[in-house]
Amino acid sequence: MQTNTNNRPGTVQTARLRLDTNRIKGDFPILEEKINGHRLVYLDSAATSQKPTVVINAILDFYRHKNANIHRGIHSLAEKATAAYEHTRQRVAHFIGDVDPEEVIFTRGATEGINLLAFSWGEANIEEGDEIVITEMEHHANLVPWVILAQKKKAILKRIPITLCGHLDLSNIDEIITPKTKLLALTHMSNVLGTVNPVAELTELAHRQGAIVLADGAQAVPHMAVDVKALGVDFYAFSSHKMLGPTGVGVLYGKRALLEAMPPFNMGGEMIREVHFDRITWNEIPHKFEAGTPDIANVVAFEAALTYLEELGMDKIREHEIALTKYAIGRLSEIDGLEIQGPQEAELRGGAISFTDHDIHPHDISTFLDTKGIAIRAGHHCAQPLMRILGKIATARASLYIYNDEADIDALIDALIDMRRYFGV
């Protein structure tokens, strides 16, 4: 993987940030918290983002004024709750490229969406000898379901390798994606390397071979404009909690014809049309895949997160993060002994920056930074196969978002320098 460039202090340009982070920070109450006597520097948004006041208030507003179950009652509260829930579905459909709202399935998260696809579409369509293609940089959520399915169905799991710079190695892609390929499942943006993958290009190639394509967009949708129709993918999964919204809410987008042909995932209320003791017929999409009472309040509050992001502008968010990522990589490269994983070019990656210190374990890095009020992630990041390829037990990861600025990066750098001094390296 890419190592540091050993730039000396003073070589890093000031970042040209597109967002007013001083104003934005004021929208997030938790950023006023003191951690171990220091201001909170939150650099763990790839794990989960913080929530603005408008989202927190939207949850409270639902329980105060709209709380009822949906799609069942005909009383006023039930109709208000249903309308609010379905309004979020429409907003999501618009957010990812003006798709048909009925192609938007609400789940508990990207993980459940991918499992839904594996157990519904996968069980019905994968047969012995079929090929499933993944990449070497997948999160476990987009890896484990396909490993299990391939083992169960006696299918063949193939993978697209990565280069030393953290990009996909497409030199032999025609030997990996073949007429035997039934599914290509790949991350849009790596949660470890930050790499933005050429999803549209690979989707076109997979479709020529008759395969369908799932993209894991958990890291991409919060940070860049995503148009699933332009990408051409058949399925796209992501989570609310990484994009300012509540936990427990996810989205699986799927093309209508594929969703209509798939059997349901969970069984129970709302996903049925008629039930008899000897036969059952299923409801129409999207309801066929939303059995039981969903997390109504959090789905409704997710709409406030979408509005917040749209008002900032996804293009501006992407430009802001490119500038800040460039600044962060430059500043991290000033510190001898650090090794940065993934592409060095900020334009080709997201703001999840994984790094290691040649002398200090990532867990110790995270623990020390916490004493300074700085929150990062340390571990294998639910990507153990990738860690083995990188030759790492774990990495430290600082991940950026809309409320981060140069001052946050500078605090991180100062703390890392103090850490190395503390450990005597």
Query: Which residues form the catalytic set?
Result: 382
Q: Strands, E, within 103-155: which ranges?
A: 104-107, 131-135
Q: How far apart are CA 205 and CA 170, in angstroms?
A: 11
| Strand 272-275 relative to strand 352-357, pairing | unpaired
Q: How far apart are CA 317 and CA 309, in angstroms?
A: 8
Provide the β-strand partners of residue 272: 282
Asked if residue 258 lies in contact with residue 267, where contact means CB atoms within 8 angstroms, the answer is no
H helices of 160-295, where? 173-176, 199-208, 228-231, 256-261
Q: How far apart are CA 151 and CA 144, in angstroms?
A: 11
Q: Strands, E, within 41-137: which ranges?
A: 41-42, 104-107, 131-135
Q: How far apart are CA 290 and CA 265, in angstroms?
A: 9
3-class SS shares of the chain: helix, strand, coil, % to 5: 40, 20, 40
Q: How many CA atoms lie within 13 A of 357 on its CB side?
A: 23
Phi/psi at 172 (5° precision): -120, 30
Dihedral angle of Cα 304, 306, 310, 313, to the nearest 10 degrees: 120
| CA 103 distance to own-chain centroid | 19
Q: Which residue has the tokens 């509540």?
A: 246
Q: How far apart are CA 130 and CA 19, in angstroms?
A: 47
Tokens read off for 152: 């169960």
Q: How far apart are CA 204 and CA 193, in angstroms?
A: 24
Q: How far apart are CA 238 and CA 303, in angstroms?
A: 15
